[in-house]
Chain A
């Protein structure tokens, strides 16, 4: 038998909180199209029937005894990915917004060694579900803030569709932002001098259940995330300023 080139081990991490309506279709969709990818469902203290569904269908899952929020849940995924020696970790949402068929797109730049941190973005080609106008304004503001603080322009800063490389897995397993982590995780990656790439993906609208961020909380969310991002930037040292040499932009 000829010796095969070692293939990258991929873990798809699916964080789910009260997703009884969506979780089956998400996992089935994934395993049907990409049986070669390993996956892990992180049941973030769901109070509905999500846990029972995961158990009944014999999915690969962990159940958190308390609700940690998306940050804690995804970090659990990174812990698992690190301890089980995965080469690439992919985050997708448990609500069905992320189409598993798009996963190869976000993995490819890592396989080609072009990037360390890949974001599946709704706004590069502007196809598919574009979210509400209010949210888009907020996203644009956060994108501008990150651009101001790092010089790196990312369009879809709140997208949960991400792929990271082994070194990132280790860093995120050690430290991952807690509340509303998506923009701050980008900041961490940028400050660690990782190569960040945005690839266009098509997202779907959430199929059932409710989003975890309600409109009334939006202002509080914006202030808090902005502060989080600023403090994160400061925590990497005031002197650094713009990134130094050695980036492949």
Chain B
């Protein structure tokens, strides 16, 4: 039975982590405000920030989760959780990109079909005006011949 040491984060590290997380929130909020981030994709980041904050403020949570997966030391647990969060974020990003790819594909196909319709319209229009001007010159030719 692997027992987890009593979770302990040195005070200096705790302070540093809290400052880092606060800066993280400020940056995310700033980007949201400038609309460089969309909220529906940012939710996961915010949730991760909140989760990390909880871990730092309540080390017991680290002990509990760590013992569940068989880790012994606080710092190891923190690293593993951070890596897990990053993996989740990456998968989420990959999913977003995949959806966008299929949307882009659909837009490209739509644009291609539109181009064909416009091209056909232009050719029909050109044909009409060509027929018109052919008719006109034909009539002019006839007028010339009849008047002589």
Contact = CB atoms under 8 A, between A and B. Distances in A.
A175 B33 CA distance: 13
A133 interface: no
Interface residues of A, number: 11
B32 A235 contact: yes
A178 B40 contact: yes
B29 A234 contact: yes
B107 A231 contact: no
B103 interface: yes
Contacts of B43: 224, 227
Contact of B106 (A66, A175, A179): A66
Interface in A16-39: none
A92 B29 CA distance: 33
Interface residues of B, number: 14
Interface of A is mostly: helix
Contacts of B109: 65
A194 interface: no
Contacts of A228: 39
B55 to A, nearest CB: 21
A227 B106 CA distance: 31
Nearest to B46: A227
Contact of B38 (A178, A234, A235): A178
Given A65-B106, A65-B107, A224 B40 contact: yes
Interface string A141-181: 00000000000000000000000000000000001001100
Contacts of B143: none
B35 interface: yes
Contacts of B38: 178
B147 interface: no
Given A231-B33, A235-B35, A66 B40 contact: no
B42 to A, nearest CB: 9
Interface in A212-249: 224, 227-228, 231, 234-235
Of listed B33, B34, B109, B110, residue having the most chain A CB within 10 A: B33
B107 A227 contact: no
A73 to B, nearest CB: 15
Interface in B1-59: 29, 32-35, 38-40, 43
Interface of A: 65-66, 175, 178-179, 224, 227-228, 231, 234-235
The 10 closest A-B pairs by CB, nearest first: A65-B110, A235-B33, A66-B103, A231-B32, A66-B106, A65-B106, A179-B40, A228-B39, A231-B39, A65-B107
14 contacts: A65-B107, A66-B106, A66-B107, A178-B38, A179-B39, A179-B40, A224-B39, A227-B43, A228-B39, A231-B32, A234-B32, A234-B33, A235-B32, A235-B34
